[in-house]
Structure 1
Amino acid sequence: MKKSLDKGFITPHPVLIIGTYDENGTPDAMNAAWGGQIGGNQISISLSSHKTTDNIKLNKEFTVAFATAAQIAACDYVGIVSGNKVADKLAKCGFTVTKSDKVNAPVIDQLPVTIECKVIELQEEFKETRVVAEIVGLKADEEVLTDGKVDLGKVGLVVFDTVGLCYRTVGDSIGGAWNVGKKFE
């Protein structure tokens, strides 16, 4: 029998590492879990007051890298420590960056998949900023590609479990989309 609980949730959440430059061109990154894809070429991220939020408002461009199991400590660190207090937090956790050729934002070299984004809309509400952006590019390390496409089985993606307050790895494929259900036809 199902039991009624006090609070609902949607989980898991992707662990997104948001990369930006500040007014001096200094790279910054933060860990954000409140985001997702909208349709085929847009994303939405909800951010509270952060240096990254200010940088997005300033430049209207940013990158989103996907956290991996191999880099989970560094990915967690950039979410724990504020860029307003620790200017070299990327270097402290071992991240290096390369400037994107599509947007004015850094690509974290140690994370194998990054999307490049341009802001479409900023919505300020309830001490939160919702960023809606167009995906204008994708960078992926060759090691995570199969037949020229990102192979999620090779990336080592992690998700944020809002119930357990932990990171979990993304598992194996359990069936083909728009295929496995055909057994009921």
Structure 2
Amino acid sequence: MTRTLCLAQEPQADALLAADPLALLFGMLLDQQIPMEKAFKGPKVIADRMGGLDVHRIAESSEEEFVELASTPPAIHRFPGSMAKRLQTLARFLIEEYDGAVENVWTRGEPDGKEVLKRLKALPGFGDQKARIFLALLGKQLGVEPKGWRAAAGAYGEKGSRRSVADVVDAKSLGEVREFKKAAKAAAKQG
């Protein structure tokens, strides 16, 4: 992954997301109940505090130490303790199931879009919606396009949509995604 991303809206954090699949996956996990930019800055904060982002070091850290690292201001999340535990659980799962190589989730055995979606949904902390958004992010912004990925990603895979983080490429598109979410929330309240 050597593409340019603009998810954290901060060049160094975005460079890490583009270069390191673990950072991107962690950012996606953190993307709940906080602004998207803060979520995707979280991996850079962790990397800075640990001297790099290493799935094995994270998995093997004591829970107390990792929670403290995540909670130190500025905390990586609104709920840093529970999110630190989720990140460690995800790191351990990646080691057990994918030899610690995140890209194996979407490359091992040359899977199609349905299989990648199934694998993403199996990740700790990833439900159906988060998995579909991440699959769309891989396809739209990182050139990871297994056969049938758009269909597997559902509406998130649509060309030109402004539904999710998968569609954020700059400050303007971030605003458009926020407007879409605001409108969808308003429609849900009325419906």
TM-score, normalised with respect to structure 2: 0.31
Structure with more contact order per residue of length (Cα contacts < 8 Å, sep ≥ 6): 1
More helix by share: 2
